Amino acid sequence: MKSQFFVGLAAAVFFVGCGGNVSSGTGGSGGDGGAAGGAGTTSSGGTTNTSSSTLPQECTVETTQPGPYEITLRFTNPTDNPVGGSVFLRKDCLLNYSIRECADGFQNSLGLSGACTVDCSQSNECIECGACPTDAVEIALGAQHDEAWSGLVYTFAQNNVGCSCHEEHVAPAQTYRVYVPVYASALDAQQGEPSFQAIADFPLPSAGAVVVNLYPPPI
């Protein structure tokens, strides 16, 4: 029987798709993306800055490096995984996962892509995207799948002609949390029926790849 791990939470998580975090494979508008920023976060000139003095202690990551902080998310199927075989991730335009920031208590998914929307400086422009093909990414036992995150997040609005547009921000240094739905088969991934959700916290910037072990929840 498939686990109901984080059932209430999973309902609130937006998957990464075309135009930010979206739950379907269509070329959606950026307005579906999660809001970038949170408590103690201000944005200016397309850069998001969070003062460490305004963050809870558990959120703070000290750094003298300027952002953006690009990282690699390493989705790993460990050899000791009780699943005992391959697991699958869903991909439609982009791999389906979401990231939340510690500053707002991990409440809101961040917009991770501005695809299928225009920059809000293009006040009279529009863009249209077709449907995204749905695919399953197989990760065999003991294998891994790497995804790069630019360290940029996006907020969304409408421009003068009523089309979805985005503004780009640098994700500030702090603690983040990644969520990824995991599927038992390629068919389950294509149908959007996850078996469980894997979750991992990580600092930004990170000294190396962020390993997200695709373990099922403890019984």
Q: Is it the case that residue 58 has pLDDT exceeding 60?
A: yes
Q: How far apart are CA 156 and CA 34, in angstroms?
A: 9
What amino acid occupies position 11?
Answer: A
Q: Is residue 120 part of a domain?
A: yes
Q: Is residue 9 part of a domain?
A: no
- For the chain, the maximum distance between any two Cα atoms, rounded to a whole number of angstroms, is 54
- Sign of torsion, CA 14 108 171 147? negative
pLDDT digits (tens, 9 = 90+) for 118-131: 999 999 999 988 88
Mean pLDDT of 51-64: 84
More confident residue, 53 or 169: 169
Q: Is residue 109 part of a domain?
A: yes
What average pLDDT does the structure give for the chain? Answer: 81
What element of type H or E holds 41? Answer: strand 41-44
Could you tell me whether strands 164-170 and 16-17 are parallel, antiparallel, or unpaired per DSSP bridges?
unpaired
Q: Is it the case that residue 139 has pLDDT exceeding 60?
A: yes
Q: Is residue 3 part of a domain?
A: no
Residue 60: the pLDDT is 95
Q: How far apart are CA 175 and CA 204, in angstroms?
A: 6
Kindly list the distances between the CA atom of residue 42 and the CA atoms of 67, 102, 105, 168, 170, in Å, as whole numbers in the listed order. 15, 15, 16, 13, 11
Could you tell me whether strands 210-213 and 71-76 are parallel, antiparallel, or unpaired per DSSP bridges?
parallel
Structural domains counted in the chain = 1
Contacts with 146 (C-beta within 8 Å, 6 or more apart), sequence order: 72, 73, 74, 75, 209
Residue 128: the pLDDT is 85
* Residue 212, phi then psi, degrees to nearest 5: -115, 100
More confident residue, 201 or 31: 201
pLDDT digits (tens, 9 = 90+) for 160-183: 999 999 999 999 999 999 999 999
Nearest-5° angle of CA 153, CA 62, CA 172?
10
Residue 29: the pLDDT is 33
Q: How far apart are CA 206 and CA 112, in angstroms?
A: 17
Q: Is residue 8 part of a domain?
A: no
Provide the pLDDT confidence category of residue 218 given band limits of 50, 70 and 90.
confident
Mean pLDDT of 151-159: 96
Residue 53: the pLDDT is 58
Provide the pLDDT confidence category of residue 15 given band limits of 50, 70 and 90.
very low
pLDDT digits (tens, 9 = 90+) for 20-52: 333 333 333 333 333 333 333 333 333 344 445
What amino acid occupies position 117?
Answer: T
- Structure tokens belonging to residue 194: 């996850």
pLDDT digits (tens, 9 = 90+) for 72-90: 999 999 999 999 999 999 9
Residue 39: the pLDDT is 31
What amino acid occupies position 182?
Answer: V
Q: Is it the case that residue 96 has pLDDT exceeding 50?
A: yes
Provide the pLDDT confidence category of residue 219 given band limits of 50, 70 and 90.
confident
- Structure tokens belonging to residue 139: 């990760």
| Cis status of the peptide bond prior to 68, with omega within 30 of 0 | yes
Domain span including residue 208: 14-61+69-213
Kindly list the distances between the CA atom of residue 218 and the CA atoms of 77, 198, 209, in Å, as whole numbers in the listed order. 16, 11, 25
